[in-house]
Chain A
Amino acid sequence: MRDKKYARYPIEWLFPVLILVILFTVFPVGYAIYNSLHRILLVLPTTPFIGLKNYIEVLTSIYFKEAILNTLLFTVTTAPATVIISLGIARLLLTKFYGRAILRPVVLIPWAIPGSVAGILWLWIFHGQWGLLNGFLLKLGIIKNYIPWLMDARLAKFCVSVAHIWTQVPFASILLMAALTTIPKDIYEAAEVDGAGAFRRLFSITIPQIKGMIIITLIYECIMGLTSYDVVYSMTAGGPGGATTLLSYFIWAEAFKLLSFGRGAALGVIMAVITFALIMAILKAIPTDILVKE
């Protein structure tokens, strides 16, 4: 209703959602902070208060350092790569060609696949002993011996990134595709008349026109990269050594493999802080007018 009066709080409309949000967000955040200040080991009956000791232990461990470096490297490489590839695919899907009606839903498939299963698909390709990639390369005579894709620290990082990008491209493509359709066609026509080439049109029209969506997609992909977990779990289980151990996997291992819930919670708090810091940094780095316009 358009009258100026405020209605009373419509609790009957909101309560199912609010109960879930309070039970599983407000409470857990408080609980995680509380846990992170106590020593909680499932094998011990008492949970003494230990202040910031969990944080100090976690922050000074070399495993944490490795996990955090891995995660940052993973995020700053996969997020832009995903956006660039997705922009290409989005543009392609809006071009007319034979079989487009088939390709369009096919592009969505990697997204509809559970991440842990996607990890297995790519394990089958990159497997060191019977992987298909090795088999093909050997048959074509490109390599003499099998390459241990997932046993070499650097190669394993690369392979995991490929698998992650594969799962992320569909959603990003659709976001960017939706943005591309909003660009008025006559801008391109005018540019073409003025003799602007394909690259010029890309950098002077397309990208500036959908800057807002590109940034939203980039932020989303950063969150996905920072919290990625399932692909790594089934592809490398964090190995070799700790080369592909990402922060999320590290938290899970700390809490549910080593059963140190206090340190797991401390890690969770640290991770939440990092995520927010990264989102804020991206938002700061871009001119404010973009988001206001959106």
Chain B
Amino acid sequence: MAKKILIHFLALVVFLFCIGPLLLTLFGGIIPDAALLSYPPKWFSMKPTLDYYNYIFRGKIPQSYEVRGAMRGMISEEARLIPHGMLNSAIIALSVMGINILCGSMAAYAFARIRFRGKSATFMGIVMCRLLPASALAVPFYLIVQALGLLDTKIAIIMVHSLLTLPFTVLILSVFFRRIPIDIEEAALVDGASRIQVFRKITLPLSAASMVATGLFAFMLSYSEFLYGLILSGTKRTRSLPVIMASLSIETDVAWGMLMSGVFITLIPSLVLAIVVWKFVVEGIILGAVKY
């Protein structure tokens, strides 16, 4: 009995540790700044408000600011960029996911099924390149993208994110492809099908689930990536969500409640992603066969 209570208590602690900061953000986004910043704290002295969300999505300036004109400077135009940043991030992450599934699966198939000279050297080269610390390459990346004339474009960020995620995708997918029984493929090859046909008609359908799963990993990494997003995006046009949020947080004239609302909006896709990744990737594949 005591053991049962202890387990449930620990579960509660872990639950609060993981989700607590998120709930606090939700709280911070609906309490007016005057109550939020009071000392000693009187958090519940004022009515909750949706003003900040209204401003971010519709540009409606919060009432409390109109009353006290002096506070107008506290509203940052930057917060209005959040919906656009979300769109940017979604486009970038989805493209990265697509590139990973397409190019990654082709390379992985070659490593899993074709015998060729220089195979292990190529494979190690691709996988090991991820071990280089990202910030160590930041400067040359910037100069290359500049030389290609792609600074301040989504293409540059998509390319770099794809590079960061592809080694992992190739590694995982080549493991999956090896698990598929080779007999069907060989039968098809004997019957005169080409490699490409075998890949498209047999391998891809058989491994669709694992490809989606690794694609989701790539999506997640790209959606969260910050360093290159910061360096390679110049203007508002291409900034991804993490970059916008970081610049909001260090900008001192942003209202705190505004920042918190922005953060909470950013978190919603992450929440959905966590659930989807758990279902498809963790339960479906990593824990897979074992029923626990």
Contact = CB atoms under 8 A, between A and B. Distances in A.
A17 B109 CA distance: 12
Interface string B275-289: 101110011001100
Interface in B91-122: 99, 102-104, 106-107, 109-110, 114-118, 122
A108 B15 CA distance: 11
Contacts of B115: 1, 5-7
B264 to A, nearest CB: 10
Contact of B186 (A2, A27, A32, A92): A2
Contact of A107 (B18, B40, B106): B18
B192 to A, nearest CB: 13
A121 B25 contact: yes
B149 interface: no
Contacts of A229: 134-135, 226-227
Contacts of B129: 21, 25
B114 A248 contact: no
B137 to A, nearest CB: 5
B21 A125 contact: yes
A129 B103 contact: no
Interface stretch (B51-59, B62-70, B242-250): B242-250
Interface string B165-178: 01100100000000
Nearest to A33: B140
B118 A268 contact: no
B126 to A, nearest CB: 6
A258 interface: no
B25 A124 contact: yes
A143 B196 CA distance: 69
- B contact residues, range: 35 or more
A202 to B, nearest CB: 15
Contact of B249 (A8, A123, A279): A123
Contact of A124 (B24, B144, B226): B24
Interface in A226-262: 226-227, 229-230, 233-235, 237, 247-248, 251-252, 255-256, 261
A141 to B, nearest CB: 11
Interface of A: 1-2, 5-10, 13-14, 16-18, 20-21, 23-25, 27-29, 31-32, 35, 88-89, 92, 94-95, 97-100, 102-125, 129-130, 132, 135, 138-139, 146, 166, 169-170, 174, 177-178, 181-182, 223, 226-227, 229-230, 233-235, 237, 247-248, 251-252, 255-256, 261, 264-265, 267-269, 271-272, 275-276, 279
Given A117-B242, A227-B135, A230-B226, 20 more contacts: A10-B114, A25-B137, A27-B140, A31-B140, A35-B140, A97-B11, A106-B19, A108-B274, A109-B19, A112-B223, A114-B226, A117-B266, A124-B260, A129-B37, A135-B43, A181-B290, A237-B250, A252-B231, A255-B139, A269-B136
